[in-house]
Amino acid sequence: NQHHVWQFVQRGFGEKLGKDYHIWVYDRDGSCKRTSTKKYGAEKFYFSDGEDRRADEILTDFENRAQSVLQEIKRLPS
């Protein structure tokens, strides 16, 4: 699965329950449901073209680097 809604962004709005982060998803009709960040915003082969996974690898690398910076920012005083 490849996430088009990055998990590190979702985790900022989530709650850790067990080993996973959980978020609430609200639909236009007013309904809501709780799901994990692993499941939300993910589709198989979203950034792949056949065997070519370069786009996903580049975005995953960026996400990992950006996550570290954002975690540091979150720890700063207001």
Band of pLDDT at residue 73, cut at 50, 70 and 90: confident
Picking from 57, 53, 62, 47, the residue whose alpha carbon sits closest to that of residue 8 is 62
Q: How many CB atoms lie within 10 A of CB 40?
A: 18
What are 39-62's pLDDT values in tens digits?
887 777 677 777 887 887 888 888
Helix ranges (DSSP H) in 1-78: 7-11, 54-75
